Amino acid sequence: MQKADAPAETLIIEDDEPPSGRLVLKSFYPSPVADFGPVSRKRHTFIVPVKTRPIKGLAKTTPKTRAFIKKYFPQASTRDWHDWQWQVRNRVRTYEKLNQILPLCPEELLADKASQLPLGITPYYLSLFSDSTPEHPLRRSVVPTVNEWIKMPCESDDPLGEDHQSPVPGLVHRYPDRVLFLLLDFCSTYCRYCTRSRVVGHGGILASRARWEKAIEYIRNTPTIRDVLLSGGDPLTLSNDRLEWVLSRLRQIPHVQIIRIGTKVPAVLPQRITPALVKMLKQYHPLWLSLHFTHPDECTPETHKACTMLADAGIPLGSQTVLLKGINDSVETMTDLMHKLMKMRVRPYYLYQCDPITGSGHFRTTIHQGLDIIRGMRGFTTGYAVPTYVVDAPGGGGKIPLMPDYVCGHTTEDLMLTNYENKPFTYPDPVQAMPVQG
Ligand code: SF4
């Protein structure tokens, strides 16, 4: 990133990204992002496109993706495709456009106007399933169907009761020592099972400096908060300047020990992970990233490169996955996903039972199925590869871990257990005599 003491005459903004948007800015006027008090003092008056140079360091694309670009985005250059802002600008937002690329089935076509969550899919993510049938797991997770119309009695728009635990708009303070700070409500790609579909994509949680200042003030005035989780929407869809504005201010608060960012960008918009972003993020350690992954098909060469860049910057990477019916609800799929994440140096962290949000019934499995998946993984693969299966308690009770029961009894001398192969074992665990009263 251009630093404040760099020559002012020739500055590169957008953190030398995206490639196709590389602009040389010359001047002495405030930057268009100056209302956010950019950390670096960037100035410009006019824009001069930089001549294109040989492309170095871009992620490999698969033959399938290259065929997709040629067919549906023939005007896009290689630089465009690897430019995260081009991906955001060209995301598919209408059923008409989607239907031109991916012939929709009746259940998908009829979903138009039915959902409270907007449609949005990056060209990159769409390229992963453009030739698919309606059952394709990635398609099911981002293309709406009429099932979103069906509301079950157990469902609500805010099942986790976040709106009642919000001392400042966009800040959720549920646990004593940590807060959830929703920076914006925008995502490059919208997941149909999103827990925050009541707010995401609706323009109600804006990336506004005034709101952010109130939230930061609350954090500053609450010394018990040692951990801030930045979420949304997707925080990594903010420009580097805006994100750094928040990170730098949080880092000035002595009691904030760690900062975490929740994002699905490496899966749906891996082009966003640029050298400039990583260079900026690593200045704010200890910084952790929770990466949202759904299915092994998301683990592409592009995503691998993005995770490698983040891991090389010393950022611990953990995964979050929602258990989804017909998408990832088998031992084989879940194990494959966790193995692929580990190869990308992402530590499997949480497997969430799907929250009962309005219109999500077609996504929810039973708890029994979730436990069976964990039982089918524990002992059969690396312990690190087994995520913690949790239910986020409706009403705001927080995450409750669930484990298959390996205890089958207790005698006065022994605890009776079964191992992962369902073989019986005993462990010496004598029942303690009760202390004599009086
Ligand atoms: S990326 Fe996260 S916040 Fe955005 S739609 Fe998906 S689940 Fe919701």
Note the pLDDT tens digit of each residue in 185-243. 999 999 999 998 888 988 888 899 999 999 999 999 999 999 999 998 999 999 999 99
Same domain, 368 and 416: no
Instruction: Say if 3 falls within a structural domain.
Output: no
Same domain, 71 and 20: no
DSSP letter at 418? E
CA of 47 to the centre of ligand 1 (A): 34
Same domain, 118 and 194: no
Same domain, 191 and 286: yes
Same domain, 139 and 226: no
Same domain, 291 and 381: yes
- Rounded to whole angstroms, how far apart are CA atoms 322 and 399? 13
Q: Which of 95, 121, 149 is the last residue of a domain?
A: 149
Q: Which of 118, 149, 180 is the last residue of a domain?
A: 149
Tell me if residue 340 is catalytic: no
Instruction: Say if 157 falls within a structural domain.
Output: no
Same domain, 90 and 27: no
Tell me if residue 105 is catalytic: no
| pLDDT (0 to 100) of residue 253 | 98
Instruction: Say if 154 falls within a structural domain.
Output: no
Instruction: Say if 57 falls within a structural domain.
Output: no
Q: Hey, what long-range contacts does 160-168 have (CB within 8 A, 24 or more apart)?
A: 160/195, 160/355, 160/392, 160/393, 160/394, 160/395, 160/396, 161/394, 161/395, 161/396, 162/196, 162/396, 164/396, 165/396, 167/218, 168/211, 168/214, 168/215, 168/218
Instruction: Say if 6 falls within a structural domain.
Output: no
| pLDDT (0 to 100) of residue 434 | 60
Atom 1 (ligand 1): residue with closest C-alpha? Answer: 264
Same domain, 26 and 135: no
Give the predicted TM-score (pTM) of the model.
0.86
Instruction: Say if 220 falls within a structural domain.
Output: yes
Tell me if residue 399 is catalytic: yes
Closest by alpha carbon to 217, among 265, 174, 169? 169
Instruction: Say if 2 falls within a structural domain.
Output: no
Same domain, 68 and 102: yes
Q: What is the CATH number of the domain that holds 190?
A: 3.20.20.70
Instruction: Say if 156 falls within a structural domain.
Output: no
| pLDDT (0 to 100) of residue 101 | 95
Mutation pick for ligand 1 pocket among 160, 162, 196, 265 (CB with most ligand atoms within 8 Å):
196
Same domain, 236 and 374: yes
Note down the domain range covering 34.
Answer: 11-49
Same domain, 45 and 173: no
| pLDDT (0 to 100) of residue 224 | 97
Number of domains in the chain: 4
Answer whether 324's CB lies under 8 Å from 363's CB: yes
Phi–psi pair at 69, nearest 5 degrees: -60, -45
Same domain, 167 and 271: yes
Q: Which of 149, 172, 201 is the last residue of a domain?
A: 149
348 SS3 class: strand
Mutation pick for ligand 1 pocket among 121, 140, 182, 292 (CB with most ligand atoms within 8 Å):
292
Tell me if residue 178 is catalytic: yes
| pLDDT (0 to 100) of residue 437 | 61
Ligand 1 neighbourhood includes 348 CB (under 6 angstroms)? no
Ranges of the chain whose pLDDT falls below 50: 1-54
